[in-house]
Structure 1
Amino acid sequence: MRTAVLIPLALSALLSPGGAGAYAPHRTNPPSSSSSSSSLRETGPGGRRAFLASAAAASLASLGVAAPAPANAADSNLQDVYFGVGCFWHIQHEFVLAERNLLGRSDKELTSRTGYAGGTKTGDGGKVCYHNLQFVADYGKLGHGEVVGMTIPESSIGDFAKEYFSYFAPNGERVDPGDRGGEYRSLIGLPGGTSHPEYSKVEEAASAKGMRLEPGKGNDPDTFGKKLVYVYDTAKYPFYQGEVYHQFHNDFQSPPYGKAYNKLADMAFDDGRLGVTGCPDRV
């Protein structure tokens, strides 16, 4: 349960020199999803590898030597996906570990971001925001659920699906049953949804956990007690980045993750991997 988050935000707004109005973010319009995805691709390891491969090929060509074919061409096919199950604070931490362990990414290459997806509506200016005292684009009222979005190789989707289903409790339920409602439903977002080329691997991971998958229709209800995960097409149900104060946050299920982890939010904001959303926030 995270209603306590609103208290420090409210105090921050009321104690600011300009009162509640001074709590408004620097920019009123959130960054477009296309610019956000582009920045992730440019900073991710796939972009770096693609650049190095291109440079190497050019050098070899000048010497009359054919460049070797990549070991796995799919590794350079980076795709934006998202996963959600309950509170996104804990899930982001787990996917940060997955990016490090499965993809060998450094702190500056991490793409996992908390956010919202699965709804059919947005607020003014395309905003989707956490519950706030200004009643701006409340994600719950707009039909969205909490998710963690990331940019990963298409060939790794099966591995990340296995990771995702390992985050459920042994009985197939989310580990924070105290949070109830459609905001905390279990959901996955893939390009093309259930038509994605790697979808069979997601099905295998779900089956191994005793879970079933169902195409999401938008604004779907809670999945608690159903062993169900909704699958969305990211083109129709895109990811909306969450506020900066929700990024790399400690959760209520585990000991604090440490200041080094928490400071990843500032690092990602400074280098452009996180943007201003237009929602009430600390930036």
Structure 2
Amino acid sequence: MYSSASFLGAMPSFIHRLARPFTSSARLSLNPSEAAALPSGAQRATFAAGCFWGVEHEFRKHFGGAERGLYDARVGYIGGDVSSPSYRAVCSGETGHAEATQLTFDPDKITYRQLVEFFYRFHDPTTRDRQGNDRGTQYRSGIFFHDAEQERVAREVTRLADEQWWHGKIATEILPASQWWDAEDYHQLYLEKNPYGYVCASHYVRPLPDLKY
């Protein structure tokens, strides 16, 4: 049994995990042109699925490091019409950006199809502009494709996931990848730095059957 003291001591971590902290810390790394070049043969994939801390964390947990094909996962902002958006501005819903994760991966070890399928397993794509308790256009579900082949795969997997998993309710947008902006440094690897940090209730891997193609 917990003593009252131990219970009270656990409360901040519990509350912190349910309530998303908000900060106005100054933004770092604003210029997307400074992004590191892709490793030879690597590709990028960009997804929005609610709070980007959990999205980045789930992809890293599932696909591991470079030995398993995932070179990097960055959180940031995409799909808006304001240059150099800050976290505070994006959270206002006025910039049009979605919180997103951009993956750099080895297509010889991970296929884009696998990434899209996993995307539909670990979040709820049926709630428009919402994930769990997080509400707003910045939390929308989206796939931002980088070429025609990614678009083809994204639309095919979406159609099948909608038919076989989500019963015709998928609200995910599928759009060409526009300007990417890295989020502030304190957002990168947030849940590794803050293991008791906020986790969106809809971010967990669902035991869905394999899609039938």
TM-score (normalizing by structure 2): 0.66
Summarize deviations over 1:136-188 as a string: whole Å, max 9, x none. x877321001111112245611101111111125x944994211110101011
Q: Provide the rounded CA distance (Å) in 1 between the counterparts of 2:96 and 2:105.
A: 26
- State the structure with bigger RCO (CA 8 A, min sep 6), 1 or 2: 2
Give the match for residue 204 of structure 1: 160
- What letter matches 1:188 in structure 2? I
Contact 1:211 1:229 in 2 (8 A): no
Query: Could you tell me how far 1:193 is from its partner in structure 2?
Result: 6.4
CA distance in 2, matches of 1:243, 1:205: 33
Q: How does 1:99-248 map to 2 (within 5 A)?
A: 99-100=63-64, 104-105=68-69, 110-119=71-80, 121-123=81-83, 127-131=84-88, 140-153=93-106, 156-169=111-124, 172-173=126-127, 176-192=131-147, 196-199=151-154, 200-210=156-166, 227-234=170-177, 237-248=178-189
Q: What is aligned with 1:87?
A: 51
The DSSP-based 3-state class of the residue aligned with 1:196 is helix
1:86, 1:186 within 8 Å by CA — same for their partners in 2? yes
Q: Is the 8 A contact 1:92 1:113 kept in 2?
A: yes
Relative distance call for 1:247 and 1:195 in structure 2 (3 A) is closer
State the shift of 1:203 in Å: 3.5
Inter-CA distance 142–211: structure 2 relative to 1 (3 Å threshold)? farther
Q: Which residue identity is paired with 2:54?
A: H
Q: Quick one: distance in 2 between partners of 1:82 and 1:195? A: 10
Q: Structure 1 residues 244 and 195, CA, compared in 2 at 3 Å: closer, same or farther?
A: closer
Higher strand share: 2
Say if 1:162 and 1:32 are closer, same or farther in 2 by CA, change over 3 A: same
Unaligned ranges ≥5, structure 1: 10-22, 48-75, 213-225, 255-283
Three-state SS of the structure 2 residue aligned to 1:253 is coil
Any stretches of 5+ residues in structure 2 without a counterpart?
1-17, 192-196, 201-213
Shift in Å, 1:112? 0.6
Matched with 1:222 is: none
Deviation digits for residues 181-230 of structure 1 (CA, Å, limit 9, x no counterpart) = 10101011112468734332443344433266xxxxxxxxxxxxx63000
The structure with the largest alpha-carbon Rg is 1
Aligned residues: 174
Using the TM superposition, give the Cα deviation of residue 111 of structure 1 relative to its aligned residue in structure 2, in angstroms: 1.2
Structure 1 residues 179, 5: closer, same or farther in 2, change over 3 A?
same
Change (3 A) 1:201 1:152: farther
Map 1:35-50 → 2, pairs under 5 A:
35-36=34-35, 38=37, 41-42=38-39, 47=40
Name the Cα RMSD after superposition: 3.4
Contact 2:98 2:139 in 1 (8 A): yes
Contact 2:20 2:198 in 1 (8 A): no
Name the structure where helix makes up a greater proportion of residues.
Answer: 1
